[in-house]
Structure 1
Amino acid sequence: MKKVLKVQPTDNVIVALTDLAKGEAVEFEGRAYRMLHDTPAKHKFAEQDFAVGDPLYMYGVLIGRAAAPIQAGEVITTKNVKHAATGFAGRQGKTDWQAPDVSKWKDRTFMGYHRSDGRVGTANHWLVVPMVFCENRNINVIREALVEQLGYEYGGGPLYQSQRLVDVYRSGGSAEQLMETEILIQAEEQKARRVFPNVDGIKFLTHEGGCGGTRQDSDTLCRLLAGYICHPNVAGATVLSLGCQNAQVEILQEAIQRINPNFDKPLYILEQQQSQSEPQMISDAIRKTFVGLIQANEQIRRPAPLSKLTFGVECGGSDGFSGISANPAIGYASDMLVALGGTVILSEFPELCGVEQELIDRCVNDDLAEKFRSIQTAYARRAEESGSGFDMNPSPGNIKDGLITDAMKSAGAAKKGGTSPITDVLDYTEAVVNPGLNLLCTPGNDVESTTGLAGSGANIIMFSTGLGTPTGNPVTPVIKVSSNSKLAERMADIIDYNAGTVITGEKTIPEAGEELFDYCVKVASGEAQPHAVRLGQDDFIPWKRGVSL
């Protein structure tokens, strides 16, 4: 295994692929470097001497400037380097693209759920949705009435039982005995006893919005919920409204019509202020949901071309290897799907800082380039006005594991989108309609972003991580891709694919990308189940359009 790596020939920082000790001599490209400090794996050290203000480059782009003199062989830290990024202007039109060879996959299909609007789902869910937080309690009552009895409570994941602790306590057991009591029990296979075997789950999208905020927030929430109701992985929905909230049912219905003018899924809307009583409304909701589930259960998987797949790409808990292994592997898989006529959505606009010009140049026309430039500029301005510019994006975990500046993090994060031309730019909640690579404005917050990806139509999400995160989504399978092998071994119950083999030299990026693509097709067909699905990790956080990095 190599000890070090330089990502691009024009870079002037070098990546440590393994821990390097102070005083250790490292040979790279015919030059010997003496490590001036302990340099942990994933971190970078200087290829040359830097004076204050000198630019540092990685991934071929500006990622910072020296804040103090730096010697060759010295580790790069937040103390000696400050964020800096290249500015951006108009489109130069660099849309030439070398697509990967996908001849082996051109006749492949996946087994999906065909919807009347022409889209194809990779899962088949029923939604129960509140228009306002006031209905969350009623949503939870419906959850308690349906999920366990219909066989969806745990989805085959682990069960934890406190009754054994109660028994030990009542028998006079000590604290030591309580600490040794087994509470994890193996779940039975739930699908075998499901009343509706062709329905993958009943999903409850509780939230804290719908009223009390701005009208813009409520309108945005309605558009997001409409995206979920129209989603190809959703068979139908039950909606609870209080009646007086800002997020009116009419706004939701108009949003649904904009996405799908011929919407024909079963949709049941109940308003509490027009009902005879709360028990009567809840009873009606349960009965109507049950009837809807009968319709949903009539859907079966049928072959569909791979062009019907829409990959959302996301990263969270990133580390210094994310942009070298997991993200490029996801990017290669993304390019494969685009070459096959499918769709990819790249989100997290705060994590595109410093690579804007490259993305602008990849837009297929000037209007898209200007839309991206305008959204990104406005977002950055709002962040700065709040006192939290994009330069504050890297988290403590990111920094600890080698992502020192936002530009460094962003240059690696953008690799998830591959290299194909950009065919559309979407603001938050806009539905994807054009095949190819789409840019979607979301924050960098993992769950707010994955919530937005699914809301815009992603039917598979590839999610890279270097530190480990259990994040999932209620309707879209989320596939976790590890940037390093240690994480894949330590958190094997969360990681679905290990791209750390790129770091160790066992696989090339194209090899890892092809393997990951094949796994995505299996998940899309229901042949494989990502851990986030198995664990019931149904994370759903709508983005209020304030500043969120």
Structure 2
Amino acid sequence: MPTPFLQIHPKDNVLVALVDLPKGAHIHYGTLDFPLIQNIKAKHKFAIRPFSKGDEIVMYGVLVGKATRPIAQGESLSTLNTTHAASEYQIGADKPSWKAPDVTFWKDRTFEGYHRANGRVGTANHWLVIPLVFCENRNIEVLKSALLKSLGYHTTTDFMVDTESLVNSYKTGASTEDILSTDIIRTPEDIKQKRIFPNVDGIKFLNHDGGCGGTRQDSKTLCSLLAGYITHPNTAGATILSLGCQNAQYKMLEEAITERDPHFSKPLHVLEQQKSKNERHFIEEAVKKTFLGLIEADKVARRPAALSHLVLGLECGGSDGFSGISANPVLGATADLLIALGGTAMLSEFPELNGVEQELINRCETDTDAEKFANLMQSYSNRALAVGAGFDNNPSPGNIKDGLITDAMKSAGAAKKGGTSPITDVLDYAEPVSKKGLNLLCTPGNDVESTTGLAGSGATIICFTTGLGTPTGNPLAPVIKISSNNDLSRRMADIIDFNTGDIITGSASVEEKAADLLEYIIQVASGKSIPAAVRLGQDDFIPWKRGISL
């Protein structure tokens, strides 16, 4: 039977309960033998020695907090006795050497992707419909209702209710019994067969509340983000709706597109409402041009591509006390495998890297990147403090309830998603990924703002670990949900794609699960497996306005 508790790192002075432990239970660990002085819930931590007020608390081998009052041996850590604390960091420390994992098994593997003119390869083939300003959101909704159902795209669930079959039966005089016996549920396979354009995976509508009324910087950042979506290898082309007078002018978007792809050649239809005859003509023209664009997009079919073309976004949300032990290390090991194969990964959510900055700085290949990362972290922290917040406010009520009681504790586990490879580049929000290997991308910890940024910077698939469960998805990059525990995988099977809970029970290793996850990623990248967020049409898109969002 596996041990009911775990010391994550030899330097740690706390243990993690893997199951509920009762008051009075004796803990035998090394030379230690002591009773628990209270009930300890699974996922929570307890002291292996007495702490005095001000003593440092270490997990994952790093400082994650300090005692705010004496804590007895065998007592649970909580917000009542522990506060956030993180180590200082500096540039110029020794860089660790990296031993890449053995990837012989995958070296000749391929995925079925969409090859683009600029040499990049997508995992999906979408047409985008984008407003340059929130004033066009209503027109975007009109286009959505005009296009999706008639072209065979249904995004509300993993099945469709075909009410038209009932209408047809009624019109032909069907009896009550006939109507009740009519099959009206359509599976994803049935729905795909009805698509007018079978090689176009979806038409995606990027509603947002920006483009005007904010700062000019907000509009410029929005245009840079939208350019990332338009030039993305998962995008076949786009229809752009502009009002005409907004801050986010098409010229600004055009410059951002050219900066990312100087030889941009995808179909792009731009319509300005203030130059149209009337709204009806504006919508009519948008529908017709989108239809013509879809005809071109459908000419592209999946072809084999090396795994080195994959760009993996690393994300977490609704984390729990097991995330840093199971799901995040598995994702990190998977990222290492992909990077060893010549691929790319991006680690985001800078507020959730607070406390592990030194480790990441040491892994940067150049001091320039190390300085950029440190400066971005410091600038972000200063903006938070300026409005009376701070990284220490980052853990959500759900995080705290499930054992993540300080930001540094949460960060130390979250950083495990980044594996162990060297960091080849550091990107600010909406900057495009251009270097193979592990990239750090500055985004908020907010799930949707972060996944929106990952796709905008070029992630072709996003792996999203969770301990509590969240339906978050993305309109462009398939989002794979990875649970940290078996209970979540059972309870929310409708949104979870991959489970790492067997690591907690001791029936699987991180390495075994990482190999399985890479295999699943290949299936998703090839369009052979459809993640739950895609099936459910969870197309979350929230651009970050660079304000304080933790």
Give the TM-score, by structure 1 length. 0.95
In 2, distance between residues paired with 1:139 and 1:492? 32
Using a 3 Å threshold, how does the CA distance of structure 1 residues 161 and 296 change in structure 2: closer, same or farther?
A: closer
Residue-by-residue CA offset, 1:468-519 (whole Å, 9 max, x unaligned) = 0000000100000000000001111111010111111111111111111110
Residue-by-residue CA offset, 1:115-151 (whole Å, 9 max, x unaligned) = 0111100000000000000000000000000000001
Q: Which amino acid aligns with 1:145?
A: A
1:393 and 2:394 matched: yes
Report the equivalent of 1:136: 137
Report the equivalent of 1:537: 538
In 1, distance between residues paired with 2:157 and 2:379? 45
Gaps of 5+ in 1: 164-184
Tell me how far 1:36 sits from its aligned partner.
Answer: 1.1
Report how many aligned residue pairs link the two structures: 529
What does residue range 420-499 of structure 1 map to in structure 2 within 5 Å? 420-499=421-500
Report the equivalent of 2:167: none
Tell me how far 1:2 sits from its aligned partner.
Answer: 1.8
1:357 and 2:358 matched: yes
In 2, distance between residues paired with 1:23 and 1:92? 45
Instruction: Say whether the 8 Å CA contact 2:157–2:537 is kept in structure 1.
Output: no
Using a 3 Å threshold, how does the CA distance of structure 1 residues 296 and 382 change in structure 2: closer, same or farther?
A: same
Report the equivalent of 1:168: none
In 2, distance between residues paired with 1:187 and 1:78? 49
Report the equivalent of 2:308: 307
What does residue range 499-518 of structure 1 map to in structure 2 within 5 Å? 499-518=500-519
1:90 and 2:105 matched: no
In 2, distance between residues paired with 1:392 and 1:421? 29
- Which secondary structure does the structure 2 equivalent of 1:157 belong to? coil
1:247 and 2:251 matched: no
In 2, distance between residues paired with 1:244 and 1:462? 38
Using a 3 Å threshold, how does the CA distance of structure 1 residues 42 and 369 change in structure 2: closer, same or farther?
A: same
Instruction: Say whether the 8 Å CA contact 1:125–1:202 is kept in structure 2.
Output: yes
Tell me how far 1:154 sits from its aligned partner.
Answer: 3.0
Report the equivalent of 2:340: 339
In 1, distance between residues paired with 2:347 and 2:464? 11
In 1, distance between residues paired with 2:537 and 2:29? 46
1:413 and 2:391 matched: no
In 1, distance between residues paired with 2:4 and 2:38? 16
Tell me how far 1:414 sits from its aligned partner.
Answer: 0.4
Tell me how far 1:452 sits from its aligned partner.
Answer: 0.2
Instruction: Say whether the 8 Å CA contact 2:26–2:36 is kept in structure 1.
Output: yes
- Which secondary structure does the structure 1 equivalent of 2:28 belong to? strand
Instruction: Say whether the 8 Å CA contact 1:155–1:190 is kept in structure 2.
Output: no
Gaps of 5+ in 2: 165-183
Residue-by-residue CA offset, 1:69-92 (whole Å, 9 max, x unaligned) = 001100000010000000111132
In 2, distance between residues paired with 1:248 and 1:33? 67
Tell me how far 1:155 sits from its aligned partner.
Answer: 7.1
- Which secondary structure does the structure 1 equivalent of 2:150 belong to? helix
- Which secondary structure does the structure 2 equivalent of 1:148 belong to? coil
- Which secondary structure does the structure 2 equivalent of 1:197 belong to? coil
Identity across the alignment (%): 62
Instruction: Say whether the 8 Å CA contact 2:162–2:186 is kept in structure 1.
Output: no
Using a 3 Å threshold, how does the CA distance of structure 1 residues 78 and 370 change in structure 2: closer, same or farther?
A: same
Instruction: Say whether the 8 Å CA contact 2:162–2:185 is kept in structure 1.
Output: no
In 1, distance between residues paired with 2:73 and 2:157? 53
- Which secondary structure does the structure 2 equivalent of 1:33 belong to? strand
Report the equivalent of 2:172: none
In 2, distance between residues paired with 1:400 and 1:313? 24
Cα RMSD over matched residues? 1.4
- Which secondary structure does the structure 1 equivalent of 2:149 belong to? helix
- Which secondary structure does the structure 2 equivalent of 1:150 belong to? coil
Residue-by-residue CA offset, 1:405-441 (whole Å, 9 max, x unaligned) = 0000000000001000000000000000000000000
Instruction: Say whether the 8 Å CA contact 1:468–1:491 is kept in structure 2.
Output: yes
More displaced stretch, 533-542 vs 19-28 = 19-28
- Which secondary structure does the structure 1 equivalent of 2:148 belong to? helix
Report the equivalent of 1:287: 288
- Which secondary structure does the structure 1 equivalent of 2:65 belong to? strand
Instruction: Say whether the 8 Å CA contact 1:468–1:487 is kept in structure 2.
Output: yes
Q: Which amino acid aligns with 1:468?
A: G
In 1, distance between residues paired with 2:316 and 2:162? 33
Tell me how far 1:158 sits from its aligned partner.
Answer: 3.8
- Which secondary structure does the structure 2 equivalent of 1:2 belong to? coil
Instruction: Say whether the 8 Å CA contact 2:427–2:433 is kept in structure 1.
Output: yes
Instruction: Say whether the 8 Å CA contact 1:4–1:28 is kept in structure 2.
Output: no
Tell me how far 1:156 sits from its aligned partner.
Answer: 6.2
> Stretches of 4+ moved more than 3 A in 1?
158-163, 185-188
